[in-house]
């Protein structure tokens, strides 16, 4: 429990630190909250003045002044409350905008291994839902609760001070003397307060627990929806909708239970507060009636006390809810700050260099594992000279994709060295390194937006003329011009409005306009039609000309045209050489060629 409180205190301190860029507005919001707290309790005192003095003495001129003062005070309080509410909401929105940007920046620069082990829905929940809960801490909890506490303190003061007067002592100075009946009435009004505090504490604990469960279930349902909407085609093809529906219904039911549990606490708490307030008013009226009958207390006092009780119980009722809002913010903040504290980025050195690369690649006894228990690349060594083309072949799971992933520093290697132009890639600035490497993957990803935006990735340094020139050079311009809007054609999410071959062609243009010195290509033409395949092959030939190319080969033509071929099996280098040399060796490559690529050769000859 103590550790939990310390954690919440740390989270609260970090949340408050987010106000540093807005110190002036934050202080103004606090000042307005305190001013509101002072203005509110004056109104019951004016009611007492109007009833016991103005009306009782039939002083209608003074009554008129008191009424005008009450209305003016009400208008002033309304303006203050508007300014305070607007400023508190503005602060919350601005702070959350900054925090959400920090979270996104933290995620967008994270190592790919984080995304391999973390559901997308979890990251979405941290960036959107949890950050929004922190917003509520500002706009509805943290600042407004200061005003509520101040109101409670001032109301209690006015209730006990009541009708006090100044009496001069024999020593020559005056002291305040309270009306005995007034502070006794105040004590009577507050007799239900201990009961309310016990109920409030029970409410806070219960709602906090239900909220923690609710956040857990929201994270689960977000992750489930993200995964299953992305894989909806597989769900429908294999006709497992009913089974997946049942899984969703189970998670959704748990979320409903957590919500209902929280609603149950609220449904008991607010009526309990109303009962306590009614009991407080009843006790006050009962006690006051005795003093009124003995003319020890005036009617205006009891009216002001009823207003004070309403003013007292209203913030007490909402403070409990606001404390829960703050606690929800603390829980959400803990999750967000935990994410921000994680070292998701690859370690960098201040001495990293930024330079243009030429294209020489060397692997020197490289070992790599996605986890420490299983190496997928084992003692791999090879060298490619600038401008050469290397094909990587091997059975599924041999380490082909892993090889190109570690070349771009997407994953850190375990042992050995990878060098480009004789420089260890860890000595390169990541931006500088990746600026010289272009990648065309088998699974092409397009973002929602136009074809032009998907090619340039909104890089303002790449002109439309450059894009069109590259598309014409690769033979892709004709297909783009046939689309409605041509380069301004809006593709759907993940580019599903286009065929696989069309998406590949766009990715070729994307790679070419960035003009990389090293091209990494996962050549995949098995799922596209023959006409598109011819365009793709020509685009590959054009794209690889004059560049160091590393190609995961799926076609015999690519292998034959390669300067060297790397044969992988179980993450190990089995052979390295050109097509003819490896065939003469009659080893792993020859076996793979006769079993896998011979059919492709026959198919090409038939075509």
The single residue listed with the structure tokens 């002036």 is: 24
Kindly indicate the confidence band of residue 173, based on its pLDDT and cuts at 50, 70 and 90: very low
Kindly indicate the confidence band of residue 605, based on its pLDDT and cuts at 50, 70 and 90: very low
For residue 60, pLDDT over 70 is answered with yes
3-state secondary structure 515-550: CCCEEEEECCCCCCCHHHHHHHHHHHHHHHCCCEEE
All domains in the chain, ordered by first residue: 2-13+21-162+178-341 (1.20.1560.10), 387-399+429-606 (3.40.50.300)
At residue 20, φ and ψ (nearest 5 deg) are -55, -40
149-158, 290-299, 355-364, 413-422: the lowest-pLDDT one? 290-299
- What integer is the mean pLDDT of 255-263? 82
Position with higher pLDDT, 355 vs 118: 355
Q: Render pLDDT for 383-437 as a digit per residue (tens, 0 to 9).
A: 888 888 888 888 777 888 888 888 877 788 888 888 888 888 888 777 777 778 8
- What integer is the mean pLDDT of 483-504? 76
- Say how many C-beta atoms besides its own lie within 10 A of residue 88's C-beta: 24
Going across the sheet that includes 572-577, the strands are 437-440, 518-522, 548-552, 389-393, 564-569, 572-577
Residues 6+ positions from 186 with CB-CB distance below 8 Å: 156, 159, 160, 162, 305
232-236, 417-421, 586-590: the lowest-pLDDT one? 232-236
Q: How far apart, in Å, are the Cα atoms of 123 and each of 77, 185, 370?
A: 42, 56, 21
CA separation for the pair 242, 230 (Å, rounded) = 17
CA separation for the pair 125, 605 (Å, rounded) = 54
CA separation for the pair 158, 135 (Å, rounded) = 34
3-state secondary structure 384-405: ECCCCEEEEECCCCCCHHHHHH
For residue 80, pLDDT over 80 is answered with yes
For residue 18, pLDDT over 70 is answered with yes
DSSP bridge pairs for 520 = 439, 550
Tell me if 433 sits within 8 A of 358, measured CB to CB.
no
Q: Render pLDDT for 511-537 as a digit per residue (tens, 0 to 9).
A: 888 878 888 887 655 555 566 667 777
State the DSSP code for 363.
E
3-state secondary structure 464-518: HHHHHHHHHHCCCHHHHHCCCCHHHCEECHHHCCCCHHHHHHHHHHHHHHCCCCE
Tell me if 521 sits within 8 A of 541, measured CB to CB.
no
Question: Residue 33 half-sphere exposure, CB side, CA atoms within 13 Å?
Answer: 25
- Say how many C-beta atoms besides its own lie within 10 A of residue 173's C-beta: 8
SS3 of residue 320 by DSSP: helix
Mean pLDDT of the chain, nearest integer: 76
Residue 577: per-residue pLDDT: 87
DSSP bridge pairs for 473 = none
The DSSP annotation for 415-471 comes to EEEEEETTEEGGGB-HHHHHHTEEEE-SS----SEEHHHHHHTT-TTS-HHHHHHHH
CA separation for the pair 494, 91 (Å, rounded) = 36
The single residue listed with the structure tokens 């106000």 is: 19
Comparing C-alpha atoms, which of 206, 330, 223, 334 is closest to residue 258?
A: 206
Q: Which run of H or of E encompasses 235? A: helix 232-237
Kindly indicate the confidence band of residue 145, based on its pLDDT and cuts at 50, 70 and 90: confident
Comparing C-alpha atoms, which of 514, 559, 551, 512 is closest to residue 403?
A: 551
Do the bridges between strand 449-450 and strand 490-491 make them parallel or antiparallel, or are there none, so unpaired? antiparallel
CA separation for the pair 160, 189 (Å, rounded) = 10
Tell me if 41 sits within 8 A of 155, measured CB to CB.
yes
SS3 of residue 338 by DSSP: helix
Tell me if 405 sits within 8 A of 485, measured CB to CB.
no
Comparing C-alpha atoms, which of 489, 501, 483, 482 is closest to residue 539?
A: 501
Tell me if 41 sits within 8 A of 64, measured CB to CB.
no
Phi-psi label, residue 179: left if phi above 0, alpha if psi -120 to 50, beta otherwise: beta
Length of the chain, please?
607
Long-range contact pairs involving 579-584 (C-beta distance under 8 Å, separation at least 24): none
Residue 194: per-residue pLDDT: 83
Question: Residue 267 half-sphere exposure, CB side, CA atoms within 13 Å?
Answer: 6
- What integer is the mean pLDDT of 164-180? 47
The DSSP annotation for 40-97 comes to TTHHHHHHHHIIIIIITTT-HHHHHHHHHHHHHHHHHHHHHHHHHHHHHHHHHHHHHH
Q: What is the CA radius of gyration of the chain?
A: 37
Residue 348: per-residue pLDDT: 56
Residue 180: per-residue pLDDT: 44
Sign of CA dihedral 42, 47, 52, 56: positive
Do the bridges between strand 437-440 and strand 389-393 make them parallel or antiparallel, or are there none, so unpaired? unpaired
CA separation for the pair 245, 230 (Å, rounded) = 15
Q: Render pLDDT for 550-565 as a digit per residue (tens, 0 to 9).
A: 888 766 666 777 888 8
Residue 213: per-residue pLDDT: 80
């Amino acid at each position: 429990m103590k550790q939990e409180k310390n954690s919440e205190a740390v989270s609260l301190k970090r949340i408050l630190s987010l106000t540093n860029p807005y110190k002036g507005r934050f202080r103004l919001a606090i000042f307005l909250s305190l001013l509101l707290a002072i203005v509110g309790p004056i109104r019951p005192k004016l009611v007492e003045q109007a009833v016991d003095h103005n009306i009782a003495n039939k002083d209608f001129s003074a009554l008129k002044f008191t009424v005008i003062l009450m209305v003016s005070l009400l208008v002033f309080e309304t303006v203050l409350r508007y300014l305070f509410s607007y400023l508190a909401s503005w602060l919350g929105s601005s702070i959350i905008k900054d925090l959400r940007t920090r979270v996104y920046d933290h995620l967008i620069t994270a190592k790919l291994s984080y995304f391999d082990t973390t559901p997308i829905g979890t990251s979405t929940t941290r960036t959107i839902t949890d950050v929004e809960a922190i917003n509520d801490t500002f706009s509805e909890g943290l600042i407004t609760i200061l005003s509520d506490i101040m109101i409670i303190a001032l109301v209690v003061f006015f209730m006990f001070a009541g009708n006090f007067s100044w009496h001069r002592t024999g020593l020559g100075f005056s002291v305040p003397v309270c009306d005995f009946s007034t502070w006794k009435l105040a004590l009577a009004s507050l007799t239900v307060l201990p009961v309310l505090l016990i109920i409030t504490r029970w409410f806070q604990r219960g709602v906090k627990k239900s909220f923690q469960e609710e956040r857990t279930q929201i994270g689960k349902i977000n992750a489930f929806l993200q995964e299953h909407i992305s894989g909806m085609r597989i769900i429908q093809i294999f006709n497992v909708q009913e089974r997946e529906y049942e899984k969703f219904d189970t998670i959704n039911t748990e979320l409903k239970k957590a919500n209902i549990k929280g609603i149950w606490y609220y449904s008991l708490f607010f009526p309990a507060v109303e009962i306590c307030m009614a009991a407080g008013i009843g006790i006050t009226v009962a006690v006051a009636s005795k003093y009124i009958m003995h003319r020890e207390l005036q009617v205006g006092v009891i009216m002001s006390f009823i207003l004070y009780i309403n003013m007292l119980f209203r913030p007490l009722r909402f403070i409990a809810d606001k404390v829960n809002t703050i606690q929800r913010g603390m829980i959400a903040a803990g999750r967000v700050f935990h994410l921000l504290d994680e070292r998701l980025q690859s370690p960098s050195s201040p001495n990293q260099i930024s330079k243009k690369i030429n294209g020489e690649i060397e692997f020197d006894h490289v070992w790599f594992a996605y986890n420490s228990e299983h190496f997928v690349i084992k003692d791999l060594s090879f060298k490619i000279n600038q401008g050469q083309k290397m094909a990587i072949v091997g059975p599924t799971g041999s380490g082909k994709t892993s090889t190109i992933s570690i070349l771009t520093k997407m994953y850190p290697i375990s042992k050995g060295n990878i060098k480009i132009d004789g420089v260890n890639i860890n000595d390169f600035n990541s931006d500088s390194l990746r600026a010289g490497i272009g990648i065309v993957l088998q699974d092409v990803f397009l973002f929602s937006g136009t074809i032009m935006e998907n090619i340039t990735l909104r890089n303002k340094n790449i002109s439309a003329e450059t894009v069109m020139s590259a598309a014409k050079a690769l033979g892709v311009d004709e297909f783009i011009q046939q689309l409605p809007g041509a380069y301004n054609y809006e593709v759907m999410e993940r580019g599903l409005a286009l065929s696989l071959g069309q998406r590949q062609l766009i990715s070729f243009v994307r790679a070419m306009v960035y003009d990389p010195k090293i091209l990494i290509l996962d050549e995949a033409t098995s799922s596209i039609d023959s006409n598109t395949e011819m365009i793709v092959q020509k685009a590959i030939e054009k794209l690889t000309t004059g560049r160091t190319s590393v190609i995961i080969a799926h076609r015999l033509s690519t292998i034959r045209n390669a300067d060297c071929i790397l044969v992988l099996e179980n993450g190990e280098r089995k052979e390295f050489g050109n097509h003819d040399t490896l065939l003469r060796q009659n080893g792993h490559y020859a076996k793979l060629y006769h079993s896998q690529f011979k059919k492709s050769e026959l198919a090409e000859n038939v075509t």
